[in-house]
Chain A
Amino acid sequence: MNAVSVEHVTKVFNTGRADEVTALSDVDLHVGQGEFVSLIGPSGCGKSTLLRLIADLTPPTTGTVTVAGGSAGEARRRQAYGIAFQQAGLFEWRTVARNVELPLELHGAGRAQRRSRAREMLDLVGLGDFAGHYPAQLSGGMQQRVAIARALAVSPPLLLMDEPFGALDEMTRERLQGELLGICAATRTSTVFVTHSISEAVFLSDRVVVMSPRPGRIVTAVDVALPARDEAARQSPAFFAAITAVRQALRGAADGANATTVPAAAS
């Protein structure tokens, strides 16, 4: 059973109006259990829309989205995924620990269980000492780590991330990438990760899915086989080869969009 199956999905915004936009056109995407898949493409190619379809935050116009064997709506209602966005989106009136507890609270978990779970998650992202702080007292990178801890709090089998490191500086970004990989490996979580950055996509992913400009289609998927995901991997020939492959696919996608036909090669 796939963690995520997206089949023949099309998404049209403002149907029938003058400003009708086809955001996604006939997209197929399958994410295996424990697989880390990145979506990459130029701005406005619909990669965030695709993520929001998987999260059931917006319905597809046609096609089906299956998450963990059920509909995306079912998966959302039983909190089968954790989600993090570019902005941390913490609740400023809750302490760090109570922010992490919120999804558990809505899940009906008891107080003691919430406490210990939040503690555990904060230790995982290295913020155990900041449980009692308010979000405004933390730096942007720390807030983002809290958001990741919150996304992981219910131990979801699937993690959906929409440019979670986009607003961070390069140093923090690389450190958090390492932490995220460690967490995903330890918890065997499947991940769909939206990003603008080629190197980030390649470093994190088992597979990088390249999308074309509007209307968004999947152009190709580049499999990344790095021996290990550590600092040395960032210097390895396999890393650079994969970066080149993704870059060429992106360039091809941009050229293809200018031409009349777009190859709809999907993985």
Chain B
Amino acid sequence: MTRRWWTAALPPVVVGVALLVAWELTVTLGRIAPFIVPAPSAIWRELVAQRVNVWEASLASGANALIGLVGGTVAGVLAALAASRFRPLAEVSLPFAAVLNALPIIALAPILNNMFESTSSVPRRLVAGIIVFFPVFINTLRGLREVNPLHRELLDSYGAGGWTFARKVRLPGALPHLFTGLRQASSLAVIAAVVAEYFGGLQNGLGSRITSAASFTAYPRAWAFVVGACLLGLVFYLSALLLERLAMPWKSRLIT
């Protein structure tokens, strides 16, 4: 088991290290200006120096992303349940959901920022929530609709009605789809929470640190915060994966 884990982890680690080395050499030997791209070693030094700031900004952005993710997921699942239960509702809501998805939601950030006070965290959380809603809604709805006809017949033969059917068959059957949506949404929530800060509002997350560092031409510092955002997104994604595994013990292999 451990050996298999190692053989799986080794290639990406080797490639990652090789890329970092190549990057470092290109920047130092090629005398590339730091405002184009700083060397990884410079970014690392900044990351260590700014670790408290990166940590605190990550906590702020992470909280916003998490609240948006939970809110958007709950709304998406409830909407999917309602739409799967009442067919006309699905026909009406799907075009709306498609429009919502086509909308560059991040562009709503400045409008939302003006709607609330400048000390409010609500706009960033709203942006994250709206972005999360769509993938969760669409995937869950698909899962709720894909019912094995044999399962339908079996529950009919047990004399089980609509609500029992939804609880015993539709919902657990839709879980794999729900988690597909949640996985996509988990990274999107972090991106939304970070980028929403570019457009004003309360400035205590990773987004504002990146813009302010860049405006002071402190590029390695800006990159250090980008690395923080990247790690935060990874934490969200892996948590979603872990949750998926815990919620569906009958699926033994998920990542591979």
Residues in chain A within 8 A of chain B (CB atoms): 55, 57, 76-79, 81, 83, 85, 87, 89, 91-94, 102-103, 105-107, 134-136
B158 A103 Cβ-Cβ under 8 A: yes
Of chain A, the residue at the smallest CB distance from B153 is: A57
Residue from B156, B159, B248 having most chain A Cβ neighbours under 10 A: B159
Q: Which residues of B contact A89 (CB under 8 A)?
A: 148, 150-151, 153-154
Residues in chain B within 8 A of chain A (CB atoms): 148, 150-151, 153-160, 164, 168-169, 172-173, 175, 248-250
Q: Which residues of B contact A105 (CB under 8 A)?
A: 168
Of chain A, the residue at the smallest CB distance from B250 is: A134
The distance in angstroms between the C-alpha atoms of A79 and B158, with both chains bound, is 6
The distance in angstroms between the C-alpha atoms of A135 and B252, with both chains bound, is 12
- Of the residues B160, B172, B250, contact of A106 by C-beta under 8 Å: B160
Of chain A, the residue at the smallest CB distance from B247 is: A93
A93 B248 Cβ-Cβ under 8 A: yes
Q: Which residues of A contact B151 (CB under 8 A)?
A: 89, 91
Give 15 pairs: A residue, B residue, CB < 8 Å, sorted on A: A76-B156, A83-B157, A85-B150, A89-B150, A89-B151, A91-B168, A91-B169, A91-B172, A92-B250, A93-B173, A93-B175, A94-B172, A94-B250, A102-B168, A106-B168
Known: A91-B169, A93-B175. A106 touches B153 (CB 8 A): no
The distance in angstroms between the C-alpha atoms of A77 and B148, with both chains bound, is 21
Q: Which residues of B contact A93 (CB under 8 A)?
A: 172-173, 175, 248, 250
The distance in angstroms between the C-alpha atoms of A102 and B250, with both chains bound, is 17
The distance in angstroms between the C-alpha atoms of A55 and B155, with both chains bound, is 12
Q: Which residues of A contact B175 (CB under 8 A)?
A: 93
Q: How far is the CB of B145 from chain A (nearest CB, A)?
A: 17
A79 B173 Cβ-Cβ under 8 A: no
Q: How far is the CB of A102 from chain B (nearest CB, A)?
A: 7
Q: Which residues of A contact B150 (CB under 8 A)?
A: 85, 87, 89
Q: Which residues of B contact A83 (CB under 8 A)?
A: 154, 157
- Of the residues B156, B160, B169, contact of A57 by C-beta under 8 Å: B156
Residue from B150, B158, B160 having most chain A Cβ neighbours under 10 A: B158
Q: Which residues of A contact B249 (CB under 8 A)?
A: 134
Q: How far is the CB of A192 from chain B (nearest CB, A)?
A: 13
The distance in angstroms between the C-alpha atoms of A210 and B173, with both chains bound, is 39
The distance in angstroms between the C-alpha atoms of A159 and B205, with both chains bound, is 64
B159 A106 Cβ-Cβ under 8 A: yes
Of chain B, the residue at the smallest CB distance from A87 is: B150
Q: How far is the CB of A151 from chain B (nearest CB, A)?
A: 9
Q: How far is the CB of A172 from chain B (nearest CB, A)?
A: 20
Q: How far is the CB of A177 from chain B (nearest CB, A)?
A: 22
